[in-house]
Structure 1
Amino acid sequence: MNKSSRTALLAGFALLSALQAAFAQSFDEDFDDENKPWEEIAVQLPAPPKAENLLPFYVSPTATQSFAVDGKSLSVGSDGVVRYTLISVSQSGARNVSYEGIRCETFERKIYAIGQSNGAWVRARRDKWEGIVQGFANRQHAALATDYFCENRSVYSSDVEKILRRMKSKQTLVDDLRR
């Protein structure tokens, strides 16, 4: 083996070592991304809901309130949280408005703000994630999560229009399973 062949061979080994180190670093970084703690994005409160944008949804036969989502407020964040304005109306006509989020990965919900009669928002005092209850009566969060927002512990679709089409047509994810 002559001197130029040895030089070329050494240069090849050096290049191979450099590439191997780069791939190893990339490989480690991919795993590091998986271990990063979940971080919630900053939330912007939406405009107050308007009657023409409300999408009523079924909760249960024993529900004591009626529920709707403001379609204009629906969003899917890069943090995997589906955010929306929820309107609940009691049988006596009392109306509650709240801006909320559902985290499919952990099956939790959070109230960000409460809507006032003048259209203003007031930040919720209890700004914590809570488990979604699968009760029988007013199970509005469970209905939204299982029927429209979440599939196998992840967001059904990051395409808001796809979720809105389902809600408008009342085509639930549970209906898909029954087919």
Structure 2
Amino acid sequence: MKQTIIPTLLAFFCLQTTVDASSQWWDSGSGSEWYEEGPAWKESKVTIPDYPQEQKLIEFSVDNPATRNHHYFLDPQSLSLAEDYVIRYSVVVQTRSGTSNVFYDGIRCTTNEYKNYAFGVGGNFIENKSAAWGRIKGGDFFRKALLRGVVCNRTSDSPYRPEEIVDRIKYNR
């Protein structure tokens, strides 16, 4: 039985490879008259905002036991939503020792990516010359928290408007 199955299968696969490619029943997408590629996404010009002022920051929560001793703040004055649908913001991460890490980032809600445009050093932003879009991964606790409902509407994968983001944080929505 085994001796006849293997040669039969081998012959079947050899015959299949000789079938003319034009007889394929499926459309590979090339030349389809129903599909049109939209315009390529283009990032808007980015201007790094002023350094966050401590008295204007609003705190948001990050639900993660590993970072329960950290405090996370968003600068509402840095929030912007450009034509490229990237929501940009400044974040201050304060550790339990009192050290602050400051970032100016952007999030693309449709792709779950972020880009760090600048970081804070000595009360000033320093432009990140190697800024590139990257996936928000497991260790990016505050970015994941922002992505999952603070700056992005998870039902539509679109960003909230800046005033909506401030309301969501202030009123814990």
Report if TM-score (shorter chain) is over 0.5: yes
2:57·2:74 contact (CA, 8 Å) conserved in 1?
A: yes
The answer for unaligned runs of 5 or more in structure 1 is 1-27, 172-179
Partner of 2:128: 124
TM-score normalized with structure 2 length:
0.72
> What percentage of residue pairs aligned between the two structures are identical?
32
Map 1:53-132; keep pairs closer than 5 Å: 53-62=56-65, 63=67, 64-117=69-122, 119-132=123-136
Give matches, 1:154-165, under 5 Å.
154-157=157-160, 159-165=161-167
One-letter code aligned to 2:109: C
- Give the structure with the larger helix fraction: 1
Tell me the distance in 1 between the aligned counterparts of 2:147 and 2:128.
21
Spell out the pairing of 1:133-152 with structure 2 (5 A cutoff): 133-135=137-139, 139-151=141-153, 152=155
Please give the TM-score of this superposition, normalised by the length of structure 1: 0.70
The partner residue of 2:170 within 168, 171, 177 is 168
Q: Match of 2:62, SS? A: coil
Q: Distance in 2 between matches of 1:153 and 1:141?
A: 18
- For 1:133 and 1:170, locate their aligned partners in 2 and report how far apart those are by CA, in whole Å: 24
Aligned length: 137
Do the aligned residues in 2 keep the contact of 1:97 with 1:115 (CA within 8 Å)?
Answer: yes
Tell me whether 1:36 sits opposite 2:39 in the alignment: yes
Gaps of 5+ in 2: 1-32
Is the 8 Å Cα contact of residues 148 and 166 (structure 1) preserved in structure 2? yes
State the alpha-carbon separation in 1 of the partners of residues 149 and 141 from structure 2. 11
Residues of 2 paired with 1:147 and 1:36: CA distance?
28
Q: Counterparts of 1:123 and 1:156 in 2: how far apart (Å)?
A: 24
Pairwise CA distance, 1:124: 1.2
- Alpha-carbon shift at residue 121 of structure 1 (Å): 1.7
CA distance in 1, matches of 2:104, 2:145: 16
Does the 8 Å contact 1:104/1:153 carry over to 2?
no
Q: Secondary structure in 2 aligned to 1:105?
A: coil
